[in-house]
Structure 1
Amino acid sequence: MLHTLASHRQFWESPRYILFSYMLINDTLLVLCSILLFVLFLAQFRLSIIVCMSLIFVATVTFLNTPFILATMSLERYVAIFYPLRRPAAWRADCIWAVILPTLLISFMIPTIELCLGKQYPGTSAFTTMVLCRSKDINNSPLLMLIKISLYGFFFVAVALTILFTYIRILLEARKMRQDQAVGKALHTVLLHGLQLLLCIMTFTQPATEQAHVVRVPWLREQIPFFNYFFFALLPRFLSPVIYGLRDETLRAHMKRAILCSSPEITPQQMVEVLLVEVSQRAAGRSS
């Protein structure tokens, strides 16, 4: 899907597809890092502190970045519906970096705070000391945990309110324009973003679900982390290609041709038009 988006210029001229590509890259990094950390922990494989903290840093940044991208994509749908002809400058394809960069900087906030306020262990070396790679094993400071929970809660509430606002506004617009398919599709997209955000928020129930054996839940304790990881970490990331990839007719058509290794049929009329354009461009170049 990333290859398809990168191979066609038309996708880079739309802020919607640029944000989608940004989300795909972010989720790919998150899935790769989280799978590696999960497998290493199940295998009880120890890493040096510097390698472990690097993996946790990337996983945390990409995890936090996901809800911000969801809010940004919901706002992009809002702008596309309410300002179709006069988009604000920041929401144009050539300036969309002005929206992407702040979300990325905010996502770096918590991991950076965690590194700065991390508990120091005398007599340990970041390069030679081997540890099981879990965030709570690397740094279990109560103050840091309180800061993380507070910031997580604030960020996710802000994103939830943003998605709710865009959903309500697009819903009201859809009632006025019942025959407009674009508005209805945007409404469904924002609703699916809300589902993604809900699954992301459910990740914070991990401490409670891992203690489910106390209330006699008939699961082995070793199965509960896998359940949390699959449903609340992997599943929301697999929804992104479905929401924007398979539901988008243009992207779906290009992906189908790429998978089948086929090219679109060119009619004689289209060939003549292409030749006329090339001739006119060469004539203009000679005259200049």
Structure 2
Amino acid sequence: MAVTNATGGGSGSSLQLAVDRILIVQVMNAIFITIICLLIFTFFKKDTFKYKTRYIFFAHTLLTDCLFLIMTNNLLLLTYFKVTMPAVACVVFCVLMSELTFVTPLTLTAMSLERYVAICMPLRHGELSTRRRSIHCIFLIHSISAIQPMITVSIFFASVPLSFYEQHKLCSAEILIAHNWQRHLRSAINQLYFLIMVITIVFTYVKIMAVAKEASSDRKKYSSKGRTTVILHAVQLFLCLIQLWCPFTEAAILPIDLQLYIDVRFFDYIVFILAPRCLSPLVYGLRDETFFLALRHYVFCGWNYRITL
């Protein structure tokens, strides 16, 4: 890899700011990834979790979020220190990141549907929410997530000369844009995804609200908890979906000011990448009593805690 001047001829304060930001991100990533790894460990240690749809989706979200955080963190480091890489490696990196970008919001949408089935269709929940169906749904999520990056990279391969792959580039998702109209196509696909997921979330919330109003006191408590879960999914989904629009603002800023581009990417990374991923442990890792007890059991090595799952 070729490395350009990390300070870009700037002052020592600019370098110090960059170092401070890098340290903050590394600490936050280390904390989140450690928590995610504990949650994943808890999931695989208890067989009962492996046969329940909501936990399977939860574990899938954790695994993809962990990989996504590692990849985005590496890309952030490369951007801050202005490290270039072979264009072909950057293309592979960006295609995988683009696919993972859609996986989390689509999985959150599937989790909201699972809560809808559990609360609004309890008699069919056991039939519809099986381990086999969950795995099929995960494959479907990845297939849908791959549509946009596959279209983008196919157009890219047909548009750039072979000599392009021998060049070294500062890696960014914009490297895959060979024509201006590709941005409009990408925007159209993102808007379609956004619309479908928002409609799904609103539909599940309204239906759960309707059931909660008519339910008995015990059932109402269960429905209320499901409604809160859907709200948290909606907040998390909203942040994830805003991330889909970040490349457009970043692309507009890049030709104007490289330092401003780096500042905007840092803000987007904290608010729209790290923040929604830290909500996953909250929704199921801490709010779900069964999972929380299992997590506490393993964190404290089973000392003074007896759990029945």
Q: TM-score when scaled to structure 2?
A: 0.78
CA distance in 1, matches of 2:268, 2:216: 40
Once the two structures are TM-superposed, the CA of residue 170 in structure 1 deviates from its matched residue by: 0.2
> 1:50 — aligned with what?
88
CA distance in 2, matches of 1:28, 1:77: 24
Q: 1:209 to 1:36 in 2, by over 3 A?
A: closer
Q: Secondary structure at the match of 2:122?
A: coil
Amino acid at match of 2:109: A
1:186 to 226, 247, 255: 226
2:187 to 134, 149, 156: 149
Q: 1:52 to 1:220 in 2, by over 3 A?
A: closer
Does the alignment pair 1:76 with 2:135? no
Q: 1:144 to 1:90 in 2, by over 3 A?
A: farther
Once the two structures are TM-superposed, the CA of residue 140 in structure 1 deviates from its matched residue by: 3.9
Q: Secondary structure at the match of 1:28?
A: helix
CA distance in 1, matches of 2:190, 2:52: 31
Is the Cα contact below 8 Å between 2:236 and 2:276 reproduced in 1? Answer: yes
2:172 to 134, 143, 146: 134
Q: 1:266 to 1:235 in 2, by over 3 A?
A: closer
Is the Cα contact below 8 Å between 1:16 and 1:73 reproduced in 2? Answer: yes
> 1:8 — aligned with what?
46
Does the alignment pair 1:60 with 2:87? no
Is the Cα contact below 8 Å between 2:174 and 2:247 reproduced in 1? Answer: no
Q: Secondary structure at the match of 1:244?
A: helix
> 1:121 — aligned with what?
160
More helix by share: 2
CA distance in 1, matches of 2:118, 2:64: 23
CA distance in 2, matches of 1:138, 1:71: 27
Identical aligned residues as a percent: 27
Is the Cα contact below 8 Å between 2:117 and 2:124 reproduced in 1? Answer: no
CA distance in 2, matches of 1:78, 1:221: 41
Is the Cα contact below 8 Å between 2:173 and 2:247 reproduced in 1? Answer: no
Alignment of 1:207-286 (within 5 A): 207-208=248-249, 222-262=262-302
Once the two structures are TM-superposed, the CA of residue 202 in structure 1 deviates from its matched residue by: 2.2
Is the Cα contact below 8 Å between 2:91 and 2:175 reproduced in 1? Answer: no
Once the two structures are TM-superposed, the CA of residue 46 in structure 1 deviates from its matched residue by: 1.0
The C-alpha deviation readout for 1:226-279, integer Å capped at 9, x for no partner, is 111110111111111111111111111111111111257679xx9xxxxxxxxx
1:195 to 231, 235, 252: 235
CA distance in 1, matches of 2:151, 2:198: 24
Q: Secondary structure at the match of 1:262?
A: coil
Unmatched 5+ stretches in structure 1: 213-218, 271-288
Is the Cα contact below 8 Å between 1:20 and 1:244 reproduced in 2? Answer: yes
Unmatched 5+ stretches in structure 2: 1-38, 254-258
Size of the aligned set, in residue pairs, is 261
Once the two structures are TM-superposed, the CA of residue 87 in structure 1 deviates from its matched residue by: 2.6
> 1:24 — aligned with what?
62
Is the Cα contact below 8 Å between 1:70 and 1:193 reproduced in 2? Answer: yes
Q: 1:139 to 1:160 in 2, by over 3 A?
A: same
CA distance in 2, matches of 1:83, 1:40: 48
CA distance in 2, matches of 1:265, 1:153: 48
Once the two structures are TM-superposed, the CA of residue 62 in structure 1 deviates from its matched residue by: 0.8
Q: Secondary structure at the match of 2:125?
A: coil
Q: Secondary structure at the match of 2:161?
A: coil
Q: 1:66 to 1:266 in 2, by over 3 A?
A: closer
CA distance in 2, matches of 1:221, 1:46: 16
Once the two structures are TM-superposed, the CA of residue 88 in structure 1 deviates from its matched residue by: 6.8
CA distance in 2, matches of 1:259, 1:265: 11
Once the two structures are TM-superposed, the CA of residue 169 in structure 1 deviates from its matched residue by: 0.4
Q: How large is the Cα RMSD of the aligned pairs?
A: 2.4
Amino acid at match of 2:111: M
